[in-house]
Amino acid sequence: MPRAPPCLNDPETGVSSKDIVFSINPLLSARLYLPKLNANDQKLPILVYFHGGAFCRESAFSEHHHEYCNIVASQANVLIVSVEHRKAPEHYLPAAYEDCWAGLKWAATHANATQNSHIISEPWLIDHGDFSKIFIGGDSSGGNIVHNVAMRAGVEPLPNGVKIIGAYMNHPYFCGSKPVGSEPIEGFEKSLPYMAWGIVYPDAPGGIDNPMVNPMAPGAPSLATLGCSKMFISVAGDDVSFRDRTVLYYEAVRASGWKGQVQLFEEKGEQHVYYMFHPHTDKGKRLIKHVTDFLKQ
In the predicted structure, residue 116 carries a pLDDT above the cut 80: no
CATH code of the domain in which 248 resides:
3.40.50.1820
Number of H helices and number of E strands within the chain?
8, 8
CA-wise closest residue to 247 among 289, 216, 208, 277: 216
What are the catalytic residues?
140, 238
CA distance linking residue 213 with residue 36, whole number of Å = 38
Residues 132 and 94: beta-carbon distance below 8 Å: no
Residues 35 and 14: beta-carbon distance below 8 Å: yes
Query: Does 2 fall in a domain?
Result: no
Query: Does 285 fall in a domain?
Result: yes
Query: Residue-wise over 138-165: b if at least 16 C-beta within 10 A, else e?
Result: bbbbbbbbbbbbbbbbbeeebbeebebb
Query: Does 6 fall in a domain?
Result: no
Determine the 3-state secondary structure of 88 from DSSP.
Answer: coil
pLDDT tens column, 205-224: 999 999 999 999 999 999 99
Q: What is the pLDDT of residue 2?
A: 87
- Report how many domains make up the chain: 1
In the predicted structure, residue 117 carries a pLDDT above the cut 70: no
Spacing of C-alpha 98 from chain mean position: 13
pLDDT tens column, 62-97: 999 999 999 999 999 999 999 999 999 999 999 999
